[in-house]
Amino acid sequence: MGRLPKFLLAALLTIASAAANANPMKFVVLRGLDKITAHVSTFTAPIDQTVNFGALQITARSCDKRPPEEVPESAAFLEIVEARQGETPQKLFSGWMFASTPALSALENPIYDLWVLDCTNDANVPAGTSPWNWAGTAIAADSSLR
């Protein structure tokens, strides 16, 4: 019992220090897994614009990245709604996701997994530029972003 509060305190302090030294970016790089089809997609989402991944509507409100001279960390504030045809949209997630610890604040859904890879100012993240080997394109709700 005594270890749990210390762990949570340490996690909160780490998160707070990450936000204090972070630089705001224009795009969040996301990776999504459709558990039914086993399809994995990597895509960029512009800040304050909605993108679709399957039945999910994802709106990134903020994406912050630590400067290169610090320990790497990217964090994004996401709002995720599931909008299935013929059903009322359901809010699934609203909060911060961290690239270094995706399980700390994860989307819990039986069909989809979604996690943050990075924050960037480049909408076209080329393949092979990171350890995750980004691939894929933005799936935008706004057709002008396709």
Residue pLDDT, tens place only, 7-44: 555 555 455 444 457 789 999 999 999 999 999 999 99
Q: Is residue 9 packed enough to be buried (19+ CB in 10 Å), middle (13-18) or exposed (0-12)?
A: exposed
Q: Considering only CA atoms, which of 56, 48, 54 is closest in space to residue 24? A: 48
Choose the weakest-confidence range: 66-70, 79-83, 91-95, 135-139: 135-139
Domain chopping of the chain, boundaries: 3-145
Interval 33-90: pLDDT, tens: 999 999 999 999 999 999 999 999 999 999 999 998 888 899 999 999 999 889 999 9
pLDDT above 70 (res 6): no
